Amino acid sequence: MAHQTSSVNKGVSPLQVWARLAAEQRAQIIRLMAQLAFKLVLTDPNSPLKEVPGAVNSDPSQNSG
């Protein structure tokens, strides 16, 4: 496999890039990261956050009355 060189300037830190982004771009990135995290949890077979069939919700604010 051929070694690819990056055209990214190694002297620029992620914090410098983040600081120069517009608020809407930051919001889009945050939404994307949240979606990726959510999908990761949904697709991880070992995730403790998976919904279990027949389980009862222990959060009273989410129970229909």
- The domain spans of the chain are 15-44
pLDDT number for residue 5: 61
pLDDT of the chain, 65 residues: tens digit per residue = 555 666 665 788 999 999 999 999 999 999 999 999 999 888 887 766 656 666 666 655 655 54
pLDDT number for residue 55: 60
pLDDT number for residue 46: 78
CA distances from 48 to 42, 45, 51 (A): 10, 9, 8
Identify which of 29, 47, 28 has the alpha carbon closest to the alpha carbon of residue 38. 47
Structure tokens at 7: 């055209």
